[in-house]
Structures are given as C-alpha cells and as structure tokens.
Chains A and B, each alone.
Chain A
Amino acid sequence: MLKHNFLLIFRNFKRFKSSFFINLVGLSTGLACTLLIYLWVNDELNFDKFHEKGDRIFQVMENREIEGSIKTTGQTQDFLARVLAEEMPEIELATVVTPPNFFPSFTLSLAEKQVKGVAKFVGKDFLNIFSYPLLAGNKNTILANKNGIVISESLAKSLFRTIDNCVGKSVEWQIMDLKRLVSITGVFKDVPVNSSEQFDFLLTFDAFKDLIGIKGEEMNWSGSAPFFTYVLLKEKTNVDNLNTKVADLIKRKSKDDQHRTLFLKLYADKYLYGNYKNGIEAGGRIAYVNLFSIIAIFILLIACINFMNLSTAKASRRIMEVGIKKVFGAQRKTLVWQYMIESMLLTLLSLLVALVLVKLLLPRFSEITGKHLELLFGTRLTLASVIITLLTAILAGSYPALYLSGFSPIMLLKRQFSSSLGELWSRKGLVIFQFAISVIFIVSVLVVYKQIEYIQNKNLGFDKDNVLYFETDGKVIGNAETFISEVKNISGVVNASSMLGNFISTPEGGGMPGKIQWKGKEMILAGAAVNYELLELLGIEIKEGRTFSRLFATDQNKVIYNEAAIEAFGLKDPVGKIVDGQEILGVVKNFHFQSLHELIKPFCFRLEPQAGTSILVKIRKGTEEKTINELQKLYQSYNPGLVFNYKFLDQDFQAQYVAEKRVALLSRYFAVLALIISCLGLFGLASFMIEKRTKEIAIRKVSGSSKIEIVLLLTNDFTKMVIVSIFVALPISFFMVSRWLENYAYRIELDWLYFFGAGVIALLTAWLTIGIQTIRAAKINPAKSLASE
C-alpha cells in the first residue's frame, strides 16, 4: 500500500510539474524562514539561562516615585546585599556588583605587557551564585582575598600564553589615575556570548570600597548608589511572600525616604523583559521575539495556502482517480492518508531544500541579527524541525485531503464536476489572506524605512559627524591638557576636548543623572562634566549667555543648561540667576542627548576639565585616515604597546537604533518573500483557471471578443481579490505602524501615500504574475482549443 502510494505521489508530482515546483519553492523558503527565525528566537530565549541555579537567582530592583510617576531601576546601595543576607532567612547568598558598562576598559600590566579588559567588582559569593566555571582556583576562597583578581581564560592566554600556573602571579591594573597591584587567585572559562554580563576579569568589591572610600559599616539608607544586588534564594522559597517582606525595607530603615520600594526580579528574565513603565513590567526584547515568531508563522502559512489552493484547484483533474478508488473499495480514511502522505513527502523534500538554504543564508542572517548563530543538529533543533515540518504538512495537507476524499463516486459517474460556491469562496478567502499579509508587510517596510530615514536626517542639535573619541589611558591620565594641545597641533584636527564618560554613553542616551534642589523640590537632571571647547566641538548652539571660557577663572562654579531645563525651572532671563547654588552661565538650544524615542529632557553642563575620561577629537572631513594615523602615533608615544581604540560618535548614534535597523532590514526581506510566495500561488491558480476556461476563451474569441477584452476578463477576478485584500490590510497595518511609531517621541507623520503605495505594489506584482499567462491564453488560436474536444 505504502509503495503504491509513493509511486502515485511521485507520478503526480511529475504530472503537475509547475505546481510541484511552486509548492517546493514556497514551502522550502517558508520553512527556511521559520528555521532561521527559530534559531534566533531560541538564542534569545536562552540568553542568561545557563546558570545552574538560575531559577533561584534574583536581582533586587527599586521602584522610585518621582513626581507622580514610578521609575524602576536595578541600581541599589552597596550594603543592601549584606543586610538582605543577614535579615532574610529565605536568602541563601547575596552579592553586590558594579553594573555593566560602569567603567571604561581597564589596562592590565605585566612587566612590559599591557592588555585591556572589562572589569567587574563583585562580592565574595558572586561565583557561588552564578555559574561561571573555574579552570583554576577554589570557588569558595577565590574572592575572599581583597587584593585578588580572577581572570578569564583568554585574558590568561594573552598575558601568559597559557592558563597553567598563573595563580599566585601579580599583575597591575589601572583605570584613569588609579592603579593597584593584585595577585591572581583563579581563572574562569570565558563568559559565554549569551550572557548579558560580559567581563574579562573580576575584582573584589572590598577593594572597590577602599578605592572610593566607603567605610565598612557605613549605611546611609536615604542615599542612592549605582550598584546591582543579586540574591540566591533558598530552595522552595515563596517569592511572593519574600517580595512583600522586601518591599518596604528602605521605608523601615530610613525615616525620611518613603518613596522607594524594593522587589525581586528573576535574573533570567532580565534580558527579555527589561523594560518598565511606571513601575510595571512592560516587555522589552520579548516584543521582537514575538514579532518575528509571528512573521515566521505567517510566511509559512502563506506557503501552506499555496499548497491548499493548488491541490484543490487541480482537484478537477484528480476527481476521477478518487472516484475509481472509491468504486473499487477504497475507504475515505485510506484516501485521506494518501493525500496526507503526499503533503508530508513534499514538505520533507522542502525541508531538505530549506536546510540547504539556511546553511547558505546563515552567515548573512547572523550578521543582520548581530548574533553567532549556527546550524548544529542537537536534539532540540532536530525536534523543532520535525515538529515544524509535521505541522506544516498537516496544515497544508489536511484541507485538500479532506476535500478531495469527500467526492462521491457518483459525481464521477455522472461526469459532472463543478466547484461549489463555498469552495470558491474559501479559495478566494485564502488568496485574500495571503495578499493582505503581503500588503501589511509592505506598509510596515515603507513606514519603518521612512522613520529611519527621518532619524538619520533629523537635526540633532549637535554635530555627530567626524567626531571620534577614545579613553584616557596610561600616561595620558594626568597629562590630559598637554595631550589635548598636542592633538590640536595635528593638521587634520579641527578641535579637541575631553569630558567625563561618553557623550552618547548608552543605547538609551547620554548624560549622568544628578539631583538638584529647586524651589524646595528635588529634581533629577541629566548632565555632563566637560572640558573647555567641548560645546564648540560638538556644535551645540548657545541661545543666551556664553559658553565656558578660559578667560574667566570662575567658570568652574557655573553651569550651562539647555532650554528644556530652563523651561522646567520656569525661569525668565536665566543668565546670571542661581539654581541650587550655581550661577547660570548660559543656555544652549535643545539637542538630542538621548535617542529620538525620548523627548528632550533638562540637561546641564558643568565645567570640570580634570574629570575627563575620554578625549573627543573633531577631524576635518576627508583627512580621516591620515589624521587617525597621526593620533595613533601620538597616543602610542604616551602609551607604548597599548592598542589605540577609538570610536566615532556617529557609531554610538547609530547604535541607538540597532534594533529598529535590524527590524527594518529583516522585514524588508520578509516582505519580499511573502509577496513572492503569494505571487507564486497566484501564478499557479491563474494557470489552472485559464486551463479550465480555454474552451470559453475560444468561444468568446470566435464570437468576436478582442484580445484585450479576454485579458481583462481573466484578470478581473484576481484584481478583485487583491483589491479586497488591500482593503482588509489597510486598517490592520495602520493600527500596527501607528503603535510602532508611538515608540518615538520624534516621528514621521503617517501619510496615506504609504498605504496607497503598498496597495499599488501588491496590485502591480499580481498583475505582472497573471498578466503573462492571460496574454498567452488570449493569443491561442480558438480553432485549436475547440478541436481538441
């Protein structure tokens, strides 16, 4: 029976070659898309999931009520971990750490060798909570020695060429003008790429306290500090109960700080569910995971619809086969199976093609998604592909199987077969569905593209182009002024200055938050400590007053605000007025120190020439290569052997929109795919329809119909379907893109042209697809098609 079925299926494929290829192409690209997205989604879902005790590791988060809204942050005080471990019996271990990106890179020196690396100061139980496997050293004592350092495998290799015997050796680390000699207590395996904490070596938090002068027992509950606190709960702890206990800890400890509550967040959830809106969890990267999963499902669905439509369309040619089989004793069940096996086989074949496609596309896909994805056949991926394939086969095959096997043999014997109304409707409905999805895709692509173009061309209020920056390392520290003036002497350099931190420091945008008192209220205000000439370098425009100048010695006590800040203060003629003890020197026009997702908020510049940790250099356009070479020479004359790591400000700006650019690029691919697969299906349907109507076409021609009339007649049905799908798609896509644009404080206006354009694109592709066939059909000599009967 099985052999018999396979034989028939194989011959059927041969007989209906074009629909076989349409299905193969459609299903394999659909499956390839799904597999690629599966790989990406799987990678996202497994981020931070490698910690053995992951289900018990929590981060302590803080909700701060500020001016009626709640700001959620992971920043806590250094002693919180200790207090929690002491006071809450449910907590097994707790540790304080410095947050990621807290410091610029450290320099590690060993004799003549210097290596840069990312450091993290951690409490002594850090390695007992998180699973970063050790290659050397004892987990329990490794962080006990205040002056110890634990380094990564690759750091050990670049320092010593081997990981053997490095325990006990001494290295010196340096950042800004701070340096310490520490001894290596252990080596850990490199932090996996799917970890949100990335570091090259660990230092002890006790050492950090020494550095910045926090005394052992000092506890100021009303102050705020930037550290992260992680806890490991005892097994079978009720998290809800513990959360209520933890919530008002600060309120209990500090009488004058009643607006801060604590809660626990599962560490493993942080990566995907990192956003908070007014104290309530509001998704995060999970939104993209969901979006792309849905896209994958839809593309596969479009391919399945092709299979269904083509199978039922060719039913008229297979109805005899069904009738005969029934007459000679085939049960419906048997026939259903035959068609299911047919779709199974086709899907399996498509899977093979899809796997080849995935293999070919993976490098590009990894590049777009910024991940290192690999096609490794473990149980998970095998299982996933088997399930995806089976589901596809069932989805694609079930309708034709049930439909075809449902014919009664009497229809065959009466030699009558006409498509029922319901069947026609369902086929039309499916085509409309396909095209509606395509149109939604196209609208989204157009809008996302326009918004990104808008971002790129928007006047930010500062000039990000041709500005590069690098950290002050080694001997530059302490000699910054001399260094900067030497930089200015390089011929391609327009200007140079320095500041504390980075101008665009995080994807969310720059500025160090600071608190000020104004009219009896506390205000949180972003700001930057800068050197002379930084504002000029960045092209930030002065609106009132003046900028910092070396000519006035007292400028160090004065500040420059942006317009938003002055508005928030409610000041008129602000120059010379005093806010929180500091005189306003000038006001700058508003500029986007954060991404365009955010409204421009109050910002403050302070003059602190000595605080600079990064040097900014504006380069004359066209001289980049030469100037950078010169800069490198100068840098290395200060720091021989150290790599000159520089970045352009524009790169940081672009990094703020990495996510949307990814979405833009991917959605463009997916939109094209969706449209192509839909058109393939339309092509197949059109050829069946034309074949069915050859006789009609011939008779019409004999009766005097012109070619154009024939073409219009044949195109008419499809045109109607596509137009209906456009109308179905428009409200849905309008809703979707409006929601997406709401993410931006500064955005394009939705124009009806985007929707109209998408409709035109869909209609034109559809016409192109069926046009060639209808023209050919209209050209056939009627004598031929009539004679064949």
Chain B
Amino acid sequence: MIQLTNIDKYYDSKFQRTYVLKDIILEVKEGEFLSVMGPSGSGKSTLLNIIGLMDSPSSGKYLLDGNSVLDLKEKVRVDYHRNFISFIFQAYHLIEEMTVYENIETPLIYKGVKSHDRESMVADLLDRFNIVAKKDLFPQQLSGGQQQLVGIARAIISKPKLLLADEPTGNLHSTQGEMIMETLKELNNEGMTIIHVTHNEKFAQYGKRIIRLEDGNIRSDTNRKT
C-alpha cells in the first residue's frame, strides 16, 4: 500500500543542512499494524506526516496505493484525506465548540454525506464505543481516554483504509492507554492498515511489526511473531 523509496527530509540553514529523515526505504502492506518507535527528534512524526500527505519529503519517491503522491494538487490531496487516510493525535484535537456527536460527524460533512446517512453512521460508532450517553457533551467534559475514543471514532467514521496515530496514548494513563490500543487492534483485525508512533514499549507490542528510528534512519525493522 505504501512504498517509500530513498526519502530524505532536511532543512537548510545558513551553513549546514540538517537531516530529519535520511534515505528512508519502507514498504507497508495493506492490513499491517506498524508501530514506529524511537527517541525524541528521531523523525517519527515527520515520517508520519509525510505518509499522511501533510508534509512533503525533500527528495525520494512515495507511492500510495500504486500512485505517486508527491506534489499533489489541493483537490486531490483533500480527496485522500476525505476517503483514504485518517489521523489520531496525542492531544486528541477535538474541536472545543462542538459536541461529541458533532465532532464525529465533521468528516462526513466535508465528504458530502447526506444528513440522514450521517445520523445512522454516527449512531453506530457511538454505540460501538459505548459513548451514546456522552454524545451531547463537549470535549472538556470528558476524560482523556473518552476524548481519545471520540478522536478514534472521528478518524474511522469515513472508513479510511489507512489510520495514522501519533502517540495516541501519550497523554493517557496506562489503563486508558490499553483500552485505546485494544480498540486499534480490533480495527486492524477488521482490515484497517494502521501506523502508530509511540514511545511506549508495551504499547508498541500491539503492532504486528515494529520499526525503530534513530537520527532519521531506520535502525531495525522486526515482525512480531503472533
């Protein structure tokens, strides 16, 4: 599904070039659950942003679903975001002025789904994550774990093929973190491709495959035996 070849990402300052990513070669197949680990500043988030089409590499090739996705027009990129890729964030990034229900509904509105269909789709997810009772609350009224559940619900409502999670458990204590990781595992079992950046060794183990980044390079790439 994802094919990265010789991806570099660097910043030029006056006297030197600082590499964030260097010569990354990575292939991710459909249905994989990939954990990306590494210390701060190793380029994990940048890699995720490049995969998520939010940042572009300085050089290299990127094929997504067989198509080159470098230098896309806004319209095409927006299309990928509407239908193919979705995100979960460490800080949840729910919109404060919107209720749980409305937050989950947002992507569908941009996708142009009819109001009637939206209703049943959101209801299904609320039901699935057991947050029906919370649907009219605002994000600030929820616990961190609940907020992240809403974040996941929002991410998957448009049925994306690829889910990118940037430290989704970073702000949560371990029980809540486990619940989130279980949810992601379940989604992966249903066939969703997931790439997940984390610091946490234990949570990394939920992935079927783990890569470790150091100074912009992939140091190790291991498949976990199941």
Query: Inside 8 A of A8's CB, which chain B residues have their CB?
Result: 95, 97-98
- CA–CA, A484 to B200, complex, Å? 113
A328 with B110, Cβ < 8 A, contacts A410-B55, A413-B45 known? yes
In the assembled complex, how far is the CB of residue B7 from the closest CB belonging to chain A, in whole angstroms? 16
Q: Is the CB of A7 within 8 A of B107?
A: no
Q: Tell me if B196 counts as interface (CB < 8 A to partner A).
A: no
Q: Tell me if B22 counts as interface (CB < 8 A to partner A).
A: no
Q: Tell me if B109 counts as interface (CB < 8 A to partner A).
A: yes
Query: Inside 8 A of A7's CB, which chain B residues have their CB?
Result: 98, 102
Query: Inside 8 A of B105's CB, which chain A residues have their CB?
Result: 4
Query: C-beta contact mask, A312-355 vs B, less than 8 Å → 1, else 0?
Result: 00000000110111111111101000000000000000000000
Query: C-beta contact mask, B104-122 vs A, less than 8 Å → 1, else 0?
Result: 0111011100000000000
- CA–CA, A7 to B103, complex, Å? 12
Q: Tell me if A582 counts as interface (CB < 8 A to partner B).
A: no
- CA–CA, A578 to B55, complex, Å? 100
Q: Is the CB of B49 within 8 A of A413?
A: yes
Q: Is the CB of A331 within 8 A of B74?
A: yes
Q: Tell me if A1 counts as interface (CB < 8 A to partner B).
A: yes
In the assembled complex, how far is the CB of residue A566 from the closest CB belonging to chain B, in whole angstroms? 83
A327 with B109, Cβ < 8 A, contacts A321-B95, A413-B49 known? no
Q: Among the listed stretches B32-40, B60-68, B81-89, B169-177, which one makes contact with chain A, having 4 or more residues with CB under 8 Å of it? A: B81-89
Query: Inside 8 A of A15's CB, which chain B residues have their CB?
Result: 96-97
A 11-30 contacts with B by CB, 8 A? 11-12, 15
Query: Inside 8 A of B89's CB, which chain A residues have their CB?
Result: 413
A 394-445 contacts with B by CB, 8 A? 408-410, 412-413, 415
In the assembled complex, how far is the CB of residue A336 from the closest CB belonging to chain B, in whole angstroms? 13
In this complex, the interface size class of chain A, counting residues with CB under 8 Å from chain B, is 20 to 34
- CA–CA, A320 to B87, complex, Å? 14
Instruction: Report the nearest B residue to A317, measured CB to CB.
Output: B96
Q: How many residues of B contact A (CB 8 A)?
A: 31
Q: Is the CB of B110 within 8 A of A334?
A: yes
Q: Tell me if B166 counts as interface (CB < 8 A to partner A).
A: yes
Q: Is the CB of A1 within 8 A of B93?
A: no
In the assembled complex, how far is the CB of residue B49 from the closest CB belonging to chain A, in whole angstroms? 6
In the assembled complex, how far is the CB of residue B156 from the closest CB belonging to chain A, in whole angstroms? 12
- CA–CA, A115 to B87, complex, Å? 89
Q: Is the CB of B54 within 8 A of A327?
A: yes
In the assembled complex, how far is the CB of residue A577 from the closest CB belonging to chain B, in whole angstroms? 92
Query: C-beta contact mask, A699-735 vs B, less than 8 Å → 1, else 0?
Result: 0000000000000000000000000000000000000
Instruction: Report the nearest A residue to B164, measured CB to CB.
Output: A327
Query: Inside 8 A of B44's CB, which chain A residues have their CB?
Result: none
Between A12, A320, A327, A328, the greatest number of chain B beta carbons within 10 A of the residue's beta carbon is seen for A328
Query: Inside 8 A of B54's CB, which chain A residues have their CB?
Result: 327, 408-410, 413
Query: Inside 8 A of B111's CB, which chain A residues have their CB?
Result: 329
In the assembled complex, how far is the CB of residue B108 from the closest CB belonging to chain A, in whole angstroms? 9
Q: Tell me if B78 counts as interface (CB < 8 A to partner A).
A: yes
Query: Inside 8 A of B75's CB, which chain A residues have their CB?
Result: 331
Instruction: Report the nearest A residue to B93, measured CB to CB.
Output: A324
- CA–CA, A334 to B98, complex, Å? 18
Query: C-beta contact mask, A100-134 vs B, less than 8 Å → 1, else 0?
Result: 00000000000000000000000000000000000
- CA–CA, A746 to B83, complex, Å? 78
- CA–CA, A30 to B166, complex, Å? 48
- CA–CA, A275 to B98, complex, Å? 63
B 135-172 contacts with A by CB, 8 A? 154, 158, 166
In the assembled complex, how far is the CB of residue B198 from the closest CB belonging to chain A, in whole angstroms? 16
- CA–CA, A331 to B79, complex, Å? 9
A323 with B97, Cβ < 8 A, contacts A1-B109, A328-B106, A413-B166 known? no
Q: Is the CB of B109 within 8 A of A11?
A: no
In the assembled complex, how far is the CB of residue A346 from the closest CB belonging to chain B, in whole angstroms? 16
Which of A4, A12, A324, A412 contacts B102 (CB under 8 A)?
A4
Instruction: Report the nearest A residue to B166, measured CB to CB.
Output: A413
In the assembled complex, how far is the CB of residue B160 from the closest CB belonging to chain A, in whole angstroms? 10
- CA–CA, A413 to B166, complex, Å? 9
Q: Is the CB of B95 within 8 A of A329?
A: no
Q: Is the CB of A11 within 8 A of B93?
A: no
Which 4 A-B pairs rank lowest in CB-CB distance, beginning with the nearest?
A: A329-B82, A11-B97, A328-B107, A329-B110
Chain A to chain B contacts (Cβ below 8 Å), 26 pairs: A4-B102, A4-B106, A4-B109, A7-B98, A7-B102, A8-B97, A8-B98, A11-B97, A11-B98, A321-B96, A325-B106, A326-B81, A327-B81, A327-B87, A328-B106, A328-B110, A328-B158, A329-B79, A329-B82, A329-B107, A330-B110, A332-B74, A409-B54, A410-B55, A412-B93, A413-B45
Q: Please give 6 more A-B residue pairs, beta carbons under 8 A apart, in addition to A327-B81, A412-B93.
A: A4-B102, A11-B97, A329-B82, A329-B111, A331-B78, A413-B45
